[in-house]
Amino acid sequence: MESSAAVVAIDGPSGSGKSSTSRGVARALGLEYLDTGAMYRAMAWFMLQQRVDVADPIAVAALAERPVLACTTDPDAPTIAVDGHDVSGPIRGEDVTGAVSPVAAVPQVRTRLVALQRQVVAQARARGHGIVVEGRDIGSVVLPEATAKVYLTADAAARAARRASEDAGRTGGQAPEAGDVAATAASLAERDRIDSARAVSPLTIAPGAVHVDGTHLTLEQVIERVVGIVREKVRTAGGGPVGR
């Protein structure tokens, strides 16, 4: 099996650098890329547009099958659409960020989106391509037989600083102040609590996953380390990749 045919699962908490790392790994190895978090954000955006109380799992479950979600898998320009409308920008807003964890905890939402995620991977494999899939339950639930599984972390302070800087960059603001970073840290801690404690597909280190701590590494170093992990897994793999 070539590295370009690999299926790579990258899990980890918010702010750990999953998205930047996953896109970088996909570019380095010539793979497609899927951000499963964007799918959950798209579902949360839809619920807010429908004025659903996202704290009511019964109300969320009732509409979980309604929106049509479609995503592209180019690591340089990934997009996601809801009912034909590109929502790649709107799903990054504060309102969606606050709604995504309770929406993602609803079993009917997870069941539907896991099926869609596996479908995207199968389509990439049918095109003869490998894919990097990032999220919180990829190695444990979505793709337990992935060629390589990575659990990416960073300490709480580093995660909060990175996420606050990302948020400021998206809104065109200046570098975040101490208060912004503290608020982001509190938000990330709450998301970690919800994601780790939910009954269905909690955030966890998947069996066989390699733990990479990026706290004191540059993005380029993290990407290089993960690329090395993938190439080693491909070299030593006794069986075929997911989907074969």
Evaluate if residue 228 carries a pLDDT over 90: yes
Structure tokens at 164: 């606050």
CB 211 within 8 A of CB 205: yes
Distances from the Cα of 226 to the Cαs of 27, 112, 136, 148, 174, in angstroms? Answer: 12, 29, 17, 9, 31
For 185-205, the pLDDT digits (tens) are 677 767 667 666 666 667 788
pLDDT at 179 (0 to 100):
60
List, for residues 122-141, the tens digit of each pLDDT value: 999 999 999 999 999 999 99
Instruction: Indicate the pTM of the whole model.
Output: 0.83
d(CA 36, CA 185): 22
CB 160 within 8 A of CB 185: yes
List the chain domain ranges.
3-234
* Third-level CATH fold of 3-234: Rossmann fold (3.40.50)
Per-residue pLDDT at 61 exceeds 60: yes
40 with 87: CB under 8 angstroms?
A: no
Q: Report the mean per-residue pLDDT for the chain.
A: 88
pLDDT tens, 22-60? 999 999 999 999 999 999 999 999 999 999 999 999 999
